[in-house]
Amino acid sequence: MYDVIISGAGPSGSKCAEILAKNGFKVALIEKDTNWRKPCGGAVNSRIFKYYPQLRRMNFHRINGIKIYSADFHNFEYKWRNVMDYSINVDRQQFDNFVRDIAVDAGAELFNQNLSYDFITKENRRIGIKAKSPSGLQEYYGKIIIIADGMSSKLVKKSGLRKKWNIEDIGIAKCAIMEGENKINKETISLFFKSYKGYGWLFPLENNKFNIGCGIIGEDILRYNLNQIYEEFLNDTNVKKYLSKNNYRKIWEGAYPLPGQGVLEKSLYNDNIMLIGDNGGFVSPLSGEGICPGIVSGKIAAETAIQALEKEEISKNTLKNYKFHPTIKKITRSFKLTLSLVDFCFENQGQNLSKMFKIAEHDDAFREKLINLFLFNEAPSKDFIMKLKFEN
Ligand SMILES: Cc1cc2nc3c(=O)[nH]c(=O)nc-3n(C[C@H](O)[C@H](O)[C@H](O)COP(=O)(O)OP(=O)(O)OC[C@H]3O[C@@H](n4cnc5c(N)ncnc54)[C@H](O)[C@@H]3O)c2cc1C
C-alpha cells in the first residue's frame, strides 16, 4: 500500500513525487512512457532554479533576452538585467527524464510503461489505480491519488472532478525541433504574434538546433487550421530572416493541446484526490507557459498530502488547503486577470496587441510590465490596463 499514487511523471508529477519521497512517504509514480517527448516549446523561465537548483550545473541552453513581434510587425527586444536571471530552453525528453531521476533518487518508485486508465474503488471510495503494462494489468493501492497525467488523462474524467475539455477552453499547438545553419540569436527567444488568437515562436537550442512552432487558443481553433498556420509560419517572411536555408533537418515534430482558461478552481481536489499541472489548468492563458506553474502546483499538492497523511485525515476537508494555499491563490488570481486581457489583446485581429507593442517601443516601464506579464505571469496592474485602454 502506497501513501500516494501519482499518475503521470511529467514535471508536475515528478516534483510532487520528489517532495513526498524526500519526506519519507511511500510513493508510486505511474508513467506511460519515459521515451515520449511532450510536444512543447521547452522555454523555462528563471524561476525554475528555485525548484531545481541542480539545473544551474546542467548544460541546458541559456537565454538572456526576448524579442516580440506584433501582427503588424511592431517589435521590441528586452534583455534580462542580471546575468544570473537567465532562463533555459530545453528538449522536453531530456528535461522530463532529468526531473524524473531526481524523484527516483529521492525514493519514489517509478513504474514506466504503465498506462493508468481507471480507479480501483471499494464501497464508493477510491483506493487505487488500474494500469495497463506490457506484462498485463497492474493495480496500485494508495491512500491519496494525484492526477498529473496532463491533457490526455483518462482518470480525470472518471474522477468526476471535471468534464471533458470544451474546445473553447483549450489551446492547441504544433512544433518541431530542427537543425541546420541559421541566423537565430543564440541568447534570445522570439515570439511572433499574429492576427489569430495565439502566436508563433522560434527558440534557439544548442548546436544549431532550434524549436519552432505556433499555437492557437479558444474559438479560433475552429476558425483556423493548425497545420496550415504552422506551414505558413515556417515560411513567414520574418521567420525566414532567421532561417535563410531551404532545408532544415527535422529531428522531431508533434502537436498537442494545452489548457487555455487558467486554474480550474472548482476541480482541484476532493476526498483523497488532487489534480496538478495541466490537469488543474496551471498554464498561463496568454503565453501558454505551464512547466513552472505545474511544478509549483506539484510541490504544494505534495505538502498538502503530507499534512493530510500526518493528521490521518485525507478527506476534502484537509485537501482543500491545496486550493487555498497562498501561492495557488496567487497563480489563480494572476491567470484570471491575464485571461481577462486575452480577449482584449486579440480584439480586431490583434490590434490591441500591436498598440501594446507600440507603447512598449518607447516606454521602458510599460515594456518591463509587458515582459513580466508574458514571461512571469505577473498580474497586470491597474495602471498598465488604463494606459492600454486610453493611450493612443
Ligand atoms: C506545443 C506546446 C508548447 C508548449 N510550450 C511551452 C513552453 O515553451 N514553456 C512552458 O513552460 N510550457 C509550455 N507548454 C505547456 C507545458 O508543456 C505543460 O504545461 C507542461 O508540460 C505540464 O506539465 P504536466 O506535468 O502537468 O503534464 P505533462 O508534461 O503533459 O506530463 C504528463 C505525463 O503523464 C504521462 N501520462 C499521460 N497519460 C498517462 C496515463 N494514462 N498513464 C500514465 N502516464 C500518463 C505522460 O507521458 C507525461 O509524462 C506547451 C504546451 C504545448 C502543447
DSSP letter string, 2-28: EEEEEE--SHHHHHHHHHHHHTT--EE
Candidate of 175, 202, 278 to mutate for ligand 1, largest count of ligand atoms within 8 Å of Cβ:
278
Say if ligand 1 is within 6 A of residue 158 CB: no
**Same-domain check for residues 131 and 34:** yes
Same domain, 213 and 307: no
Centroid of ligand 1 to alpha carbon of 173 (angstroms): 12
pTM over 0.75: yes
Nearest alpha carbon, ligand 1 atom 27: 150
What CA–CA distance (Å, rounded) separates 300 from 329?
Answer: 11
What integer pLDDT is reported at residue 84 of this predicted model?
Answer: 76
Beta-carbon count within 10 A of 379 CB:
16
DSSP strand pairing (109-111 vs 87-89): unpaired
Please tell me the residue having the least CA distance from ligand 1 atom 52: 40
Cell numbers describing residue 237: 517572411
pLDDT score, position 392: 55
Decide if 235 is inside a domain.
yes
d(CA 14, CA 4): 13
Same-domain pairing of 152 and 218: no
Task: Report helix angle 326-362 to 316-323, nearest 10.
Answer: 20
Confidence of residue 340 (pLDDT cuts 50, 70, 90): confident
Same domain for 109 and 147?
yes
Residue 333 within any structural domain of the chain: no
> Which pLDDT does position 390 carry in this prediction?
72
Q: Of 236, 9, 187, whose CA–CA distance to 83 is shortest?
A: 187
* Average pLDDT, integer, range 108-131: 97
Residue 171's nearest CA partner among 283, 252, 91 is 283
What's the rounded Cα separation, in Å, for the pair 18 and 104?
Answer: 7
Query: Is pLDDT larger for residue 65 or for residue 71?
Result: 65
Closest CA to 142 of 30, 27, 32: 27
pLDDT tens by residue, 160-211: 999 889 999 999 999 999 999 999 999 999 999 988 999 999 999 999 999 9
Strand ranges (E), 125-169 = 125-133, 136-147
Out of 272, 301, 324, pick the residue that ends a domain: 324
Shared-domain flag, residues 25 and 157: yes
Is 34 in the same domain as 108?
Answer: yes
CA 257 to centroid of ligand 1, rounded, Å: 9
Phi, psi of 147 (to 5 degrees): -100, 115
The amino acid present at 358, given as its one-letter code, is K
Residues 247 and 101 in one domain: no
The average pLDDT across 243-266 equals 94
Q: Which segment of 23-37, 136-150, 163-177, 333-347 scores lowest on mean pLDDT?
A: 333-347
Here the cell at position 54 is 541542480
Q: What is the mean pLDDT of residues 290-295?
A: 98
Q: Which residue's CA lies nearest to atom 10 of ligand 1?
A: 289
Of 324, 340, 364, the position where a domain reaches its end is 324
CA–centroid distance, 134 to ligand 1, in Å, is 23
Contact call for residues 48 and 295 (beta carbons, < 8 A): yes
Q: Establish if 73 belongs to a structural domain.
A: no
In a domain, 366, yes or no: no
pLDDT at 7: 98
**343 is a domain residue:** no
Here the CATH number for the domain that contains residue 301 is 3.50.50.60
Q: Does 287 lie in the same domain as 232?
A: no
d(CA 326, CA 300): 10
Q: Which cell is 208 given?
A: 544549431
Q: Assess whether 245 and 112 both reside in one domain.
A: no
Looking at 239, 259, 279, which one is the last position of a domain?
259
Query: Under 8 Å CB-to-CB from 291, ≥6 apart: which residues?
Result: 11, 40, 44, 48
**Residue at grid coordinates 537543425:** 179
Q: In this model, does residue 125 exceed pLDDT 80?
A: yes
Task: Tell me the residue range of the domain where 294 lies.
Answer: 2-38+90-163+260-324
Mutate which of 5, 30, 38 to test ligand 1's pocket (most atoms within 8 Å of Cβ)?
A: 38
Ligand 1 centroid–CA 245 distance in Å is 31
Q: Are residues 246 and 184 in the same domain?
A: yes
Say if 64 falls within a structural domain: no
Mutate which of 291, 297, 300, 335 to test ligand 1's pocket (most atoms within 8 Å of Cβ)? 291
DSSP letter for 169, please.
Answer: G
Residues sharing a CB contact under 8 Å with residue 142, sequence separation 6 or more, in sequence order: 1, 2, 3, 4, 5, 28, 127, 128, 129
Q: In this structure, is residue 125 part of a structural domain?
A: yes
78 pairs with which residues across the strands? 66
Q: 155 with 269, same domain?
A: yes
Q: Do 323 and 166 contact (CB within 8 A), yes or no?
A: no
Q: Is residue 380 part of a domain?
A: no
Shared domain check, 272 and 153 = yes
Nearest ligand 1 atom to alpha carbon 171: 53
User: From the CA of 137, how far away is ligand 1's center (Å)?
Assistant: 24
Judged by DSSP in three states, 177 sits in strand
Q: How many domains does the chain have?
A: 2
